[in-house]
Every structure is written in C-alpha cells, then in structure tokens.
Chains A and B, each alone.
Chain A
C-alpha cells in the first residue's frame, strides 16, 4: 500500500474554491477530488479535467436508433408482409418512407437519450442502493471540499492551503 493519507480542505465560497484550485495546480500538486453542493462553472477547466465524451456516445446511439428504426420498418412493412394499407405504396421502403419518419425520429431520440443516460450512470458509478461516497455531509449543503493526497509533505500542503482561505484543514486516513 502506498500513501493512504489525504488532506481535506474546506471552503465556504465557490470563488475562493476556484482560486484555491488554481493555486494548488500552480504548485503542481495533484487534486484527487473536489466535492461541491452545486455545479461550479469552470471548475473542470481549472482542475484540468478532460472534456466529456458523453455527447459523442449519444451521437452513435442516435445512429443506432435510426438504423434500428429503418431495419424494423423495412422488415415489418415491406419484407415480411407488404399489405396494401389504405393505398400506401409498400413496394419498397423508400416509396413509403415519409410514413416511417415519425418512427425513425422518435427511435433516434429514444436510443440517444436513454443509452446516454445509462452510459452516464455506469461511468459515474451511480445506481440504487449504492453507498454514498461523501467524506463530509456538509459538502451537500454549504461547504466545498478539496481532497489532496499526501506524500510526506503535510506541512507544506497545510501552509499552502491555509493561505488559500480554507476554513478547515483536516488530515484524514483513507481506508
């Protein structure tokens, strides 16, 4: 086991937190995690997090849904049992295509939306009965928490963090 100690620095204002994150990054310390009660705009950029690829997955899920709709309408209405329903041309898929567009649209949206949400749940590791990973309940109300792993530099980190306006600095044993 490597280092299992982390510093928890608490802040009460998102602007102060942003400046603290920038200060810690400037000193080339790794920030393990930041816990916030609400989204702080620009925090991901300040922490240097890679942009999300969720939109890209949604695009491909949408294409999947569209293909599924095309295949389904073609198989059911044209290949399997091409009946004359109210004079609609069921000789080829393209001839009857306008009638299928509402289905194609809805299935595209359905696939894109639901599969993206499920992807989000899986990547974020969220599910029912999941044990909360909250280090301090105050971070869901009015406190912000920055977690930095310690590698025998406790004193230096504490000094840096207290300069950034932290209201409370704790050293915690993890696990």
Chain B
C-alpha cells in the first residue's frame, strides 16, 4: 500500500492556502464601481505606460478591420449599444472611441465589467482545466475497460485516484454555476444579463433572444447539474466496484457489470461533453457558434488527461508504489500523448482554417479578437501543443525516458492551459487580460486540491487491481521495440 507522505500533504495544503489567499486578494482588488475602474484605467495610461500604450496601439490598428467587419455582423444590435457587455458593445465602443470624449463613460463601464470579470475568469479557467482533466482521465479509464485493453490494467488505480479530483472540482463548479445563474454575482455569461430577452429593454438582443430556447438560465442550470451528476455517479460507482472486483471471486460477474456500466457511461459522456462545451465555454460568446467545438474541447482535455496520467504514474513509480509498471507502459502513455497532441492540432486547425477561409463576419470575429488581443499566447499555444510534442516525442527511444516525458508533458499542459485561457478570456475580459496573481493563485489552488485528493485516494486502495482478468498480461506487457532500463528482461525475448 502507498503511504501519502506528510511532506506532500503539507505541500498540497500550502498550495491550497496560498491559492485561496491569492484568489481572495484578486476578488478584493477588483473594482467595486465604475469610478474604481476609471481610476485603474487612468493609472494604466499614466504610470504603467508601456503596457497600456501597447493595448491602445493594438486597438487603433484593429479598428479599421474590426469596426467594418463587426458592424456587418451585428449591424442591428448597434442600435442597442448601451448594453451591459458583450461583443456588440465592443463594436459600439470601438466606434465610440473614434468619436471621442462623449462616450468615455460607456467605455469606462465596459472596462469596469471586464475588470470585474477578471478574478472570476481566472478562477473559471483553472477550474475548468482541472475539472476537465479529471473527467477525461475517468473517460480514458472507462474506454480502457470497454476496450478490454490489457496494457493499462496496472494503471487502473492511478486513473481512479486522479478521477477522485472530479469530486471537489465538481463542487466548486456547482458553486460557480449557481453564483452565475441563481445569485447573479458573476457576469461571465453575457446572455445572463438583465433585459437581454426583453424587447422593451435597452439591453434587448434579438440574436440571443432567438437562441433563448437553449440559452436560458433555468435550462442551463439544470443541464449543468445533470452533467456533473452523471459524471460523479459513474465515478462513485466504478471506484467502489473496482475495489470490490479485487476480492469478488464471483466468476467475473463484477467485472462484467463494470464493463457494461462503462459502456453506458461513455455513451452518456459523449452527449454531455458536447453540451457541456456549448454551455460552459461557447456560451461565453453567445453570438458565435462552431460545430466541431465539442470535439475540440474534448481533444484538448484528453491530451492533458493523458499527460497527467503519465506524470502521476512516473511519480508513483519513482516512489516504488507501482511494481507492475515498466518502461513499456510509460512508452504507451507517451504514444497517446503524442497522438492526441496531433489530434488536437488537427481539430484546432480544422476549426480555424474553415473560419479563416470562408471569412464570414459573424464567425470570424471570434478569431479576429483572439489574434489581435492575444497574439502571443494564441501562437505560442500552437507551438507548445503541436510543434514541441511532435519533435520531442517522435523518437521511439525518447518515449520511455521519464524526464523526457516530464519536459514534454509540462509544455503540453502549459499549452492546453493557454488553450482554455484563450477559449474563456477574450469573451469575458477582452483586452483587459493579463497573467498575474489571480491566474497563478487559481492554478496553485486547484493544483493543491489535485495533489491532496489524488494521492490520498491512491493511498486508500490496493495499487494493483488484483481481480482484473487481464492483470497478468498487463504486468508482462512489453513493447518489443524499446530497451528497458534497469529491469530484468530475462523472461522476454
């Protein structure tokens, strides 16, 4: 049995506390009123010269293109330019900035809402990243059961332990969902603003109103709760029954039940994942839509999930907690990381290139915004998620060297964090984005929770799933092409 060391426990709790402090600080320093926001803006222009000026410059540049493109797309909304904050207002502001002083207040209000969104968005990005990774580890685990794959059986307990992180992240997600939809204390989702569906309101938005059969607060809240419930129900069931499997001795009855439930879960997951990505991510840009978005989110989270499995496996193996795992298992995980990195790139490019090629204004605004305001992370993401893994993990020998995988994996995880960042931030904080205390604290907070839940869950069960009929095969798994370092290979040929 693995012992969750006191040192690691203290470390994780320190991360949680530090993160929580930082998150609290970021909420505390967010502007409370438009006057606060104006002050911050004034500071940006006077003191913090370089930063603010660069933003202004970028804005000037893009006016020419954006005002033209956007006014085509959202022409009818511009009349309602005083709206709280969504893309239509951005157009209005883009125009108003050109007009000059008399719209200063509008601009200030817009920036005020963006700044108010910042701590929420920072929290949301990390939350979604960690929730998604834990979820996709669970899905990968279910897929291994359904495929009756033998190689991964010795990793089952690792995957189960990582999926334990689904519980705390789901609870926090539930709180964020409720605070957006019921308490109305965060403003990340523009369609939740008051009056958007009310034709007599100055905030009325006919485009969003046309989607109100899907995008309405009660429906959204209920759906979100259903997703979380389905995923957690499967996790709870499979974890309990997987441990039962160890001692079941009932002619594979438990094993077969777990198989059937996993098939059902994958079916439900594919549906809930698609809808989740519409509700939780695409809903941040209610004027924009893309058909392969669900797959794209899936690919991003799946490759991160496999990287995390590899990380936890490498760590636990180095502590001697995984006696059945050899270099071939690591090699297979690295192959999955490599393959799904390319799969992610394929979907990212398919989405980008189709929109770029056709250049339909209502779709293109999405990438115009990201390319103009987030150029560095937007381009860095492609390098980190595609170019780096393809060159690093192409060589078969490298795929079983732990430190190589750790380096590749850190870049992949960083790249996919940026990916989620770029999905969320442009819609909620727009050009006011930065990577500072709020973002780092949220990352540390969820990392601490991750370490605490994952390793305490791993310590609670036998690290070897004894009852699995493929266990023997998994322990003898050997990929012919690689040299195993420091392992007896006498029983192989």
Contact = CB atoms under 8 A, between A and B. Distances in A.
B394 interface: yes
A53 to B, nearest CB: 12
Contacts of B480: 41-42, 45
A59 B394 contact: yes
Q: Is the interface of B mostly helix, strand, loop or mixed?
A: loop
A45 B483 CA distance: 11
Contacts of A87: 359
Contacts of B493: 18, 41-42, 45-46
Contacts of A55: 396
B310 to A, nearest CB: 22
Contacts of B356: 98
B58 interface: no
Q: Is the interface of A mostly helix, strand, loop or mixed?
A: helix
B252 to A, nearest CB: 29
Nearest to A15: B493
A13 B480 CA distance: 20
A98 B349 CA distance: 8
B267 interface: no
A98 B359 contact: no
A101 B359 contact: no
A99 interface: yes
Contacts of A59: 394
Given A42-B480, A42-B493, A45-B493, A98 B352 contact: yes
Contacts of B359: 87
Contacts of B492: 42
A99 B357 contact: yes
Contact of A101 (B353, B394, B396): B353
Contacts of B396: 55
21 contacts: A18-B493, A41-B480, A41-B493, A42-B480, A42-B492, A42-B493, A45-B480, A45-B493, A46-B493, A55-B396, A59-B394, A87-B359, A98-B349, A98-B352, A98-B353, A98-B356, A98-B357, A99-B353, A99-B357, A101-B349, A101-B353
Interface of B: 349, 352-353, 356-357, 359, 394, 396, 480, 492-493
Interface of A: 18, 41-42, 45-46, 55, 59, 87, 98-99, 101
Given A42-B493, A59-B394, A98-B352, 10 more contacts: A18-B493, A41-B480, A42-B480, A42-B492, A45-B493, A55-B396, A98-B349, A98-B356, A99-B357, A101-B349
9 interchain residue pairs of minimum CB distance:
A42-B493, A98-B353, A98-B356, A41-B480, A18-B493, A42-B480, A99-B357, A46-B493, A101-B349
